[in-house]
Structure 1
Amino acid sequence: MIARTLQDMFKRYRRPGDVVFAVFILALSILLISQLGEQTEVTKRTKWYAQPALWPKISLYSMCAFAFLHWLSSAMSPRIAGRWTEVALWMRGFEYVAYFLIYVLAVPKIGYLPSTVLFCVFLAFRTGFRDVRALLAAAVFAVGVVIVFRGVLAVKIPAGAIYDYLPDAIRSFALIYL
């Protein structure tokens, strides 16, 4: 089939959630543009193409323009049902962000090893692995992560407050390796 007009060539089909996505990105880009003066600076005696603020400005103004064009094209396209169902589907991903934030808050309290094991086993269970072998594999994986990060890479991770209650000999081991 041959496109008869330019409009036929660039016909766009709207998807559920397009307007919500476009408005969100447009609002985000406007918010970020409003912060440009605080986060970047124009330095004197520097050519325009070497300014620290050049690429952030180009990217944010482009983001704003393309978000507006996306919103405009979505507003001109026929509406499709299911917008809020699509948005609810997007929001489900924030559940895992909440889990990660809980994990980050738990590490200084109960320690890196216990919180990592609990986190991995919980995520394995949450994603549908109910078999004992799968949960054990998640725990072994967590121990491997701790060994790599604390032992091999020597990443400095705060010790858990719970380690203060351990006997001195075990406490020093736990502070270094767990």
Structure 2
Amino acid sequence: MSERIAEPVPGVDVPPRPRQPAGTRFQRVLRTISPRIVTGGGGGARRVAGPGEVVFAAGFFGLSLLLLLLLPFQTDWLPSTKLVVQPRFWPAVAIGAMLVFSGGHLLRALAAHPAGGAWAEIKGWLRPLEFALWFLAYVLLVPWSGYLLATVAFTSSLSWRLGYRSARWVLVATFFALCVVLVFRSLLGVNIPSGALYELLPPGGFRSFLMTRF
């Protein structure tokens, strides 16, 4: 007995061809990119955009457009060279695809009903920037205080920021910083600025030891 083909839902399913099961992956792709769904037409309910989706789509489209504008200045076009081996060809293909798909995403997001909570979603995206600023402050502190003191201050402060504020966790963070300094500075001999603070110490072997090992 032959398998019965599922009946398509009007306005949703694409009618199957003979001997083709309904609801194939290709049909789902067609339904996703159909103009009726992008524009919200066809009499059906418009989809709801996720929190911050319009902002994300606009940002990605703007980034793609910026890369396209910078393409002539960042890549070369060599005379008497085949197209597929041109330095500008494949970057142009990649950026062109980014521009097309991000533009389609932006149009689809603008056509959808906006969802609430966009600002809370954006704040969630910005939270990692705080920890990037912590690391930048650590990098700027190393040439002034030295690798050891800067690492101890960084790990202890970050431990406090993450909620581990007892004396036990401060000691754990300090011990971890000391281990990091011993491994990278003393054992591996990584070239790290010694710190302007060490210059205030009296000249001698102790200052030289701190400047070379810590």
Please tell me the TM-score bracket, short chain as reference.
0.7 to 0.9
CA distance in 1, matches of 2:167, 2:209: 29
Question: Normalising by structure 1, what TM-score?
Answer: 0.87
CA offset digits 1:123-171 (Å, max 9, x no partner): 1110010122222111111122222222333321222111111222222
CA distance 1:37–1:147, shift in 2 (3 Å): farther
Q: Which one has the bigger helix percentage? A: 1
- Tell me the residue number matched to 2:211: 175
Q: Which runs of 4+ in 1 moved over 6 A?
A: none
CA distance 1:160–1:15, shift in 2 (3 Å): same
Deviates more, 1:145-154 or 1:81-90: 145-154
Residue type matched to 1:123 in 2? L
- Tell me the residue number matched to 1:96: 131
Instruction: State which of 6, 28, 33 in structure 1 corresponds to 2:63.
Output: 28
Report the Cα offset of residue 6 of structure 1. Answer: 4.5
Deviates more, 1:51-60 or 1:100-109: 51-60
Deviates more, 1:122-131 or 1:5-14: 5-14
Residue type matched to 1:164 in 2? E
CA distance 1:3–1:101, shift in 2 (3 Å): farther
Give 3-state SS (helix, strand or coil) of 1:88's partner: helix
CA contact under 8 A between 2:48 and 2:115: conserved in structure 1?
no
- Tell me the residue number matched to 2:191: 156
Q: Does 1:72 align with 2:107?
A: yes
Report the Cα offset of residue 20 of structure 1. Answer: 0.5
- Tell me the residue number matched to 1:50: 85
CA distance 1:23–1:150, shift in 2 (3 Å): same
Report the Cα offset of residue 50 of structure 1. Answer: 2.5
Question: What's the Cα RMSD here?
Answer: 2.4
CA distance 1:126–1:53, shift in 2 (3 Å): same
Question: Normalising by structure 2, what TM-score?
Answer: 0.73
Q: Does 1:147 align with 2:197?
A: no
CA distance 1:167–1:76, shift in 2 (3 Å): same
CA distance 1:44–1:174, shift in 2 (3 Å): farther
- Tell me the residue number matched to 1:130: 165
- Where do residues 111-126 of structure 1 align in structure 2 (5 Å cutoff)? 111-126=146-161
CA distance in 2, matches of 1:152, 1:64: 49
Report the Cα offset of residue 63 of structure 1. Answer: 2.1
CA contact under 8 A between 2:48 and 2:114: conserved in structure 1?
no
CA distance in 2, matches of 1:47, 1:120: 54
Residue type matched to 1:106 in 2? L
CA contact under 8 A between 2:185 and 2:213: conserved in structure 1?
yes
CA offset digits 1:64-96 (Å, max 9, x no partner): 222212111111222211112211222222111
Alignment size in residue pairs: 178
Segments of 5+ residues of structure 2 without an aligned counterpart are 1-6, 15-27, 38-46
Residue type matched to 1:174 in 2? L
Report the Cα offset of residue 106 of structure 1. Answer: 0.8
Q: Does 1:87 align with 2:122?
A: yes
